[in-house]
């Protein structure tokens, strides 16, 4: 039986934003679940703040592709579940929920139900729930992949702001190369069969980042090359011949 992951050696610094990218089947989400303590029985050593990971971690929160809100609960009740292990009185809990909803730009939806929300709003509620409690490590498993492009860009901006204001360590899994270049301090490029680290790319771009900056395009090109996704060069004269044929037709 082949290992899903092999030979991994990765250290993430406190407060760092690290992104895992790579082809499907390279073990990105498996690694995230291992860090969260949701995949017991692994070989090797994994530690968070010097403590061996042997089960779910109180200091660790996870955001999934789907919002996973309970449809029979209000937004306020869903968000409050993020602090279920915290010893908070009702007034303090309500104030904390309202504060987290304000942080994700949803101050007026506490009494609504998930079915009344757009996809982007529901994922914002899931982020607010993630921010409840005392979590220093946030694991993000393709949280924006199901959203339309415009909403995805907005939530990327909001996630960057939340990372900067909370000081939390964030580890993101994504297939979106631009998202990786925009959000990350470091980008871990993985290969498959078995899942392994191919290259760790430091992101030298200053924040706030400009998506149309030539340096941003060069970083994306580097990642495309590492993932073997760069387009094949067009033979000399081929494009001109194709245009001529189209015009003559």
DSSP line for 167-186: --EEEEE-S-HHHHHHH-SE
62 to 38, 95, 169, 184: CA distances (angstroms): 11, 23, 12, 17
Token pair 């290259």 in the structure block, residue: 199
CA atoms of 171 and 35, how far apart (whole Å): 10
CA atoms of 17 and 167, how far apart (whole Å): 10
Any idea what the Cα angle at residue 220 is, between residues 219 and 226, rounded to 5°? 95
The more confidently predicted of residues 18 and 53 is: 18
Any idea what the Cα angle at residue 38 is, between residues 36 and 44, rounded to 5°? 80
CB 223 within 8 A of CB 189: yes
Please check the confidence at residue 177 and state whether its pLDDT lies above 60.
Answer: yes
Please check the confidence at residue 241 and state whether its pLDDT lies above 60.
Answer: no
Q: What is the pLDDT of residues 39-55, one digit of tens each?
A: 877 788 888 888 888 88
Please check the confidence at residue 236 and state whether its pLDDT lies above 60.
Answer: no
Mean pLDDT of all residues in the chain?
A: 90
pTM beyond 0.85: yes
Please check the confidence at residue 179 and state whether its pLDDT lies above 90.
Answer: yes
Largest CA distance in the chain: 77
Q: What is the pLDDT of residues 85-132, one digit of tens each?
A: 888 899 999 999 999 999 999 999 999 999 999 999 999 999 999 999
Specify the pLDDT at position 50.
86
Helix (H) or strand (E) holding 34: helix 28-36
Please check the confidence at residue 212 and state whether its pLDDT lies above 70.
Answer: yes
The confidence band for 66, taking pLDDT boundaries of 50, 70 and 90, is very high
CB 53 within 8 A of CB 35: yes
CA atoms of 17 and 171, how far apart (whole Å): 6
Average pLDDT for 241-248: 48
Please check the confidence at residue 219 and state whether its pLDDT lies above 90.
Answer: yes
The confidence band for 214, taking pLDDT boundaries of 50, 70 and 90, is very high
With left for phi above 0 and alpha for psi between -120 and 50, is residue 49 left, alpha or beta?
A: left
Average pLDDT for 234-246: 51
Reduced to 3 states, what is the DSSP secondary structure of residue 194?
Answer: coil
Sequence-distant (6+) residues with CB within 8 A of 40 are 54, 55
Specify the pLDDT at position 246.
44
Spell out the domains of the chain, with CATH numbers in brackets: 17-248 (3.40.50.300)
CB 200 within 8 A of CB 188: yes
Please check the confidence at residue 193 and state whether its pLDDT lies above 60.
Answer: yes
Specify the pLDDT at position 158.
92
């Amino acid at each position: 039986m082949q290992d899903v992951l092999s030979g991994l050696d990765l250290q993430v610094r406190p407060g760092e934003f690290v992104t895992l990218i790579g082809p499907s089947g390279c073990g990105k989400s498996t690694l995230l679940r291992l860090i969260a303590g949701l995949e017991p029985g692994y070989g090797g050593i994994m530690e968070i703040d010097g403590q061996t990971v042997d089960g779910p971690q109180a200091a660790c929160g996870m955001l999934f592709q789907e919002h996973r809100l309970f449809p029979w609960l209000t937004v306020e009740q869903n968000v409050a579940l993020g602090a279920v292990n915290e010893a908070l009185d009702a007034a303090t809990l309500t104030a904390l929920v309202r504060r987290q909803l304000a942080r994700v730009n949803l101050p007026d939806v506490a009494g609504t139900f998930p079915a009344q929300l757009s996809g982007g709003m529901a994922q914002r509620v899931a982020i607010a729930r993630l921010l409840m409690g005392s979590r220093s490590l946030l694991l993000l498993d393709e949280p924006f992949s199901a959203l339309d492009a415009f909403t995805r860009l907005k939530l990327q901006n909001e996630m960057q702001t939340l990372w900067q204001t909370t000081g939390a360590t964030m580890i993101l899994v994504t297939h979106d190369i631009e998202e990786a270049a925009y959000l990350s301090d470091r980008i871990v490029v993985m290969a498959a069969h078995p899942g392994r680290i191919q290259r760790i790319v430091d992101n030298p771009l200053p924040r706030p980042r400009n998506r149309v900056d030539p340096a941003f395009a060069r970083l994306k090109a580097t990642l495309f090359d590492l993932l073997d996704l760069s387009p094949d060069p067009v033979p000399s004269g081929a494009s001109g011949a194709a245009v001529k044929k189209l015009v003559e037709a």
